[in-house]
Amino acid sequence: MRGISLLLIGAMLASCTAAAEQPIRSARGQQAYQTLIAGKAARPEISCMPSYNASDMTVIDGRTLAFRRGTGTVFLVHLTPGCEMVSGPGPYALLSKEVGSSGLCRGDIQQVIDTMSRINAGSCTIGAIVPYVRPGA
């Protein structure tokens, strides 16, 4: 009888961990997203994005960043919850902590810093990196 109770409790807990919620994207963010991936096809997820340039970063929403490499490739970086403030109004910047690598990798810690007070306003990790490539590139 105790085994059945444990199974029921486990089933209830599993039902609470439904699929990850999708970020809410503003009209401006949706337009930026569509513009960046226009004419490109998604490739399989990669674990690390080597040699990125932070000045080529676009914040799509609080859970999605895009990095352009040339004109043919865009890397969409999906963040776990906690960094949503980076897309909002205010003096926020994303600080990346890389350990032992030369690029962004799945699991790397990201922090949102209030640039006025220099206080940590949130943190998250990189969940997935999806390259979008122009066919023939």
CB atoms within 10 A of CB 28: 11
The pTM (predicted TM-score) of the whole model is 0.75
Listed in sequence order, the residues at least 6 apart from 102 whose beta carbon sits closer than 8 Å to its beta carbon are 50, 51
> What secondary structure, in 3-state letters, does 81-106 show?
CCCHHHHCCCCEEEEEECCCCCEEEC
Confidence check: pLDDT of 121 > 50: yes
What pLDDT is recorded for position 34? 92
What are the domain boundaries of the chain? 45-137
Residue pLDDT, tens place only, 44-62:
999 998 777 777 888 898 8
Residue pLDDT, tens place only, 107-120:
999 999 998 898 99
pLDDT confidence tier of residue 2, bands split at 50, 70 and 90: very low
CA dist 130 and 45 (Å) reads: 5
